[in-house]
């Protein structure tokens, strides 16, 4: 682990924290958000430094493919795995040099200083200085690179998206991951004091520079919750839920539970994770809404009665949220997707037995891969003749027909536009009705 520098050269603690976060993600397999919370607290970083740490960490993860390629050109040979901390210091320094508005000399000096304070890495400081000076000379070459999205996408993921959508769309998907997502908010009722863009279905959108979420108008009062525009669509496909019994069978952390409760449904919010259900309780409490919260494995849970409607927001690879969580590029493996597909199929089969005749199931995932979306529904409909698809109409989604595929399911991609604004999470959503 990178040591916390005691004697702080200006900006050194922030740079060290960013390198340690990258080490925790790439080597230790931590989520970047968890690593951030831990490292920022260990380093006791001031608020003004935290933004910089976040920006360096996110830029490093979004641009790691390009960074590694440039370093590969300038390093005589790759650093041995035992020097992984030094590699992470080079990555974060290169991110600042190549992609951020940071003076080159600061990025280089502070990388060298990070190495100097560590006994086992001290001897690499001269090499780092020389290599990073060469990285500076690569700026122009990097700025003119083409197919940058692909360069920053692990090969196995690129291949999956190219197979599902073709290379041109895959490049647009990967390119969207280079940019930070806007902050989208769902309103509990129709109004808010916030100055924000109102998207066609009522979601509020704030672009960067909004500060801390907790400081935004209406947070304390529970007027809204954070929810990407695309993530708000599955519940909208249920229409008016007032008075209906609705099971939200993979509920935590509760974004969609809040939507259902705000629509006055009788909500049973089920999740297998006690820890994550605490978040559902906290979130419902803040916005003063309620639901029956049930900690259970849906594969074993036996509700007393069948439901009018059910939402299955299934566990998935979450590749649709890479703009917000660029660590997903490096934390997921192909074998994870195999296991998730099996689980999604089982959960969907279980859900089919929980709704009344005439009842609706919304199946959704925030995955880009069709295996976790389109192909799951194809297989389900083939095996369950008592269900049919109720195709999504443009009216269901604020007139945005470009989000509806030929089968009448929703397929959103991270580069899709909404109103005059660009970008949304990648989601697949299908609406199914039980015929008998
Ligand atoms: C994609 S997340 C749900 C997000 C949530 N619907 C929202 O909008 O905030 C999937 C959830 O499924 C839960 N889960 C996974 N397997 C489950 C099972 N067998 N039974 C119940 N919940 C499960 C996970 O704990 C996780 O919280």
Residue 301 CA: nearest ligand 1 atom is 20
> What phi, psi does 199 have (nearest 5°)?
-80, 165
Q: If you write DSSP's letter for every residue of 241-308 in order, what string do you get? A: -TT-EEEESS-TT-HHHHHHHHTT-EEEEEES-HHHHHHHHHHHHHHT---EEEE--TTT---SS-EE
pLDDT lower than 70: segments of the chain: 1-8
Residue 254 CA: nearest ligand 1 atom is 9
Cβ atoms of 413 and 426 closer than 8 Å: yes
Cα of 256 from ligand 1 centre, angstroms: 11
Per-residue model confidence as pLDDT tens digits over 96-138: 999 999 999 999 999 999 999 999 999 999 999 999 999 999 9
- Whole-prediction pTM: 0.94
Domain for residue 278, yes or no?
A: yes
Cβ atoms of 200 and 400 closer than 8 Å: yes
Q: Is 254 in the pocket of ligand 1 (CB under 6 A)?
A: yes
Per-residue model confidence as pLDDT tens digits over 263-295: 999 999 999 999 999 999 999 999 999 999 999
Which pLDDT value is given to residue 2?
46
Range of the domain at 319: 229-434
Which pLDDT value is given to residue 1?
52
Q: Is 273 in the pocket of ligand 1 (CB under 6 A)?
A: yes
At 418, which helix (H) or strand (E)?
strand 417-418
Which pLDDT value is given to residue 346?
98
Whole-Å CA distances, 62 to 49, 92, 140, 148, 320: 20, 11, 19, 10, 14
Cα of 16 from ligand 1 centre, angstroms: 35
Domain for residue 162, yes or no?
A: no
Domain containing 379 — which CATH number?
3.40.50.150
Dihedral of the CA atoms 399, 324, 364, 243 (nearest 10)?
-70
Cβ atoms of 103 and 144 closer than 8 Å: no
Domain for residue 299, yes or no?
A: yes
Domain containing 137 — which CATH number?
1.10.940.10
Cα of 271 from ligand 1 centre, angstroms: 6
Single out the residue in 113, 145, 177 at which a domain terminates: 145
Determine the Cα–Cα distance for residues 44 and 36; give it in Å rounded to an integer. 12
Q: Are residues 134 and 234 in the same domain?
A: no
**How many domains does the chain divide into?**
2
Domain for residue 118, yes or no?
A: yes
Cα of 251 from ligand 1 centre, angstroms: 5
Domain for residue 422, yes or no?
A: yes
Residue 347 CA: nearest ligand 1 atom is 19
First-last CA distance in the chain = 59
3-state secondary structure of 6: coil
Determine the Cα–Cα distance for residues 24 and 42; give it in Å rounded to an integer. 13
């Amino acid at each position: 682990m990178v040591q916390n520098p005691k004697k702080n050269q200006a900006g050194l603690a922030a740079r060290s924290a960013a390198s340690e976060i990258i080490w925790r993600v790439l080597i230790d397999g931590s989520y970047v958000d968890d690593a951030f919370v831990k490292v920022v607290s260990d380093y006791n970083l001031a608020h003004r430094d935290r933004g910089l740490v976040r920006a360096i960490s996110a830029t490093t993860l979004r641009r790691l493919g390009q960074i590694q390629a440039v370093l590969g050109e300038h390093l005589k040979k790759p650093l041995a795995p035992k020097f992984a901390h030094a590699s992470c210091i080079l990555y974060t320094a290169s991110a600042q040099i190549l992609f951020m508005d940071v003076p080159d000399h600061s990025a280089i000096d502070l990388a060298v200083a990070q190495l100097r304070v560590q006994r086992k890495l001290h001897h690499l400081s001269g090499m780092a200085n020389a290599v990073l000076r060469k990285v500076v000379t690569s700026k122009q070459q990097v700025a003119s690179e083409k197919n940058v999205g692909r360069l920053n996408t692990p090969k196995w993921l690129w291949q999956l998206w190219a197979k599902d959508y073709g290379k041109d769309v895959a490049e647009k998907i990967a390119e969207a991951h280079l940019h930070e997502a806007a902050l989208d908010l769902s309103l509990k009722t129709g109004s808010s004091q916030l100055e924000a863009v109102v998207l066609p279905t009522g979601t509020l959108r704030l672009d960067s520079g909004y500060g801390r979420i907790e400081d935004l108008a209406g947070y304390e009062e529970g007027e809204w919750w954070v929810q990407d525009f695309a993530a708000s669509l599955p519940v909208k496909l249920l229409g008016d839920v007032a008075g209906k019994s609705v099971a939200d069978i993979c509920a935590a952390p509760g974004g969609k539970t809040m939507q259902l409760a705000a629509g006055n449904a009788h909500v049973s919010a089920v999740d297998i994770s006690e820890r994550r259900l605490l978040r559902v309780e906290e979130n419902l409490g803040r916005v003063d809404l309620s639901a029956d919260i049930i900690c259970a494995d849906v594969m074993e849970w036996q509700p007393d009665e069948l439901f009018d409607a059910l939402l299955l927001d299934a566990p998935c690879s979450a590749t649709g949220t890479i703009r917000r969580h660029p660590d997903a590029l490096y934390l997921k493996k192909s074998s994870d997707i195999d296991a998730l597909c099996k689980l999604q199929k089982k959960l969907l089969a279980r859900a089919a037995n929980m709704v009344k005749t005439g009842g609706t199931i919304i199946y959704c995932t925030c995955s880009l891969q069709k295996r976790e979306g389109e192909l799951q529904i194809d297989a389900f409909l083939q095996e369950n003749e008592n269900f049919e698809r109720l195709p999504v109409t443009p009216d269901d989604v604020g007139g945005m027909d470009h989000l509806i595929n030929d089968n009448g399911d929703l397929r959103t991609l991270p580069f899709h536009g909404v109103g005059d604004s660009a970008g949304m999470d990648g989601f697949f959503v299908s609406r199914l009705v039980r015929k008998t």
